Amino acid sequence: MTHEEESGVRVSLDIWHPDCWTLEVTEATDGGLLGHGVHEIDGLANGRFTAYADSTAELDALVAAIRDSPLTESVWETGEFEDEAVPGSATRGIVVRYDMGNSINDALVSRGFIPDEPVRMQGGREQWTVLVQETRQTVHERLEEVRAEMDADIRVELITAPKGGSGLFRTDALSERQREVFELARRRDYYTWPRETSAAELAAEVDVSKATLLEHLRKAESKLLGDD
């Protein structure tokens, strides 16, 4: 067994999937959510979240949108949540009950993707950081299974060794242009959450179109996964 197989990898994912209330409400409002875990009780998903926004009014609008969503069964507020790591100046703990079939959690966890940080939902996308004891190629294969099962758009943003490991996978397989764009994206914190730069800003910096830059990144990420 190789060292890579023994230690596994840490993967950052950007996800969209249909019939997801977290994506719909964060796209429709100015707030965001941190997901701290989902458990099935009486056939329903029970998720614990921190809702946050830049103002109390925006936070109230977010929670109201969650209550009004046809994809949620109930919302239980647990009070203010104080944590310097949570974005926004207004926060609130909530527990939401909803259809387990609309959660991508089980599709990921059942394939060995274990959340390593709270899941972040903002602007209609979910940001997952997961640990998985797989190789780069099998990570790609497992994600393809999740995409097919959930009709999901899953983008791999970064693959690293686990904390304390040897760092990023080698980029020897990348072309010079792919490596240039990928390393620039890393330096400009494109892969952090929230992003410190946009694809359009990166494209302007290397004097290519946004579509071309995203294609370079897609090919680089695919090679880092072992797909090419």
What domains does the chain contain, in order, with CATH numbers? 3-14+107-224 (no CATH), 18-103 (3.30.1360)
In 3D, which of 194, 187, 128, 186 has the Cα closest to residue 156?
Answer: 128
Burial class (CB in 10 A: 0-12, 13-18, 19+), 185: buried
Tens-digit pLDDT profile for residues 91-110:
999 999 999 999 999 999 99
Q: What confidence score (pLDDT) does residue 112 get?
A: 93
pLDDT at 166 over 50: no
Here the tokens at position 152 are 């999901």
Could you tell me how far CA 76 lies from the centroid of its own chain?
A: 24
Angle at 26 between CA 35 and CA 63, to 5 degrees: 75
pLDDT at 188 over 80: yes
Tens-digit pLDDT profile for residues 9-62:
888 899 999 999 999 999 999 999 999 999 999 889 999 999 999 999 999 999
Question: Could you tell me the pTM of the whole model?
Answer: 0.70
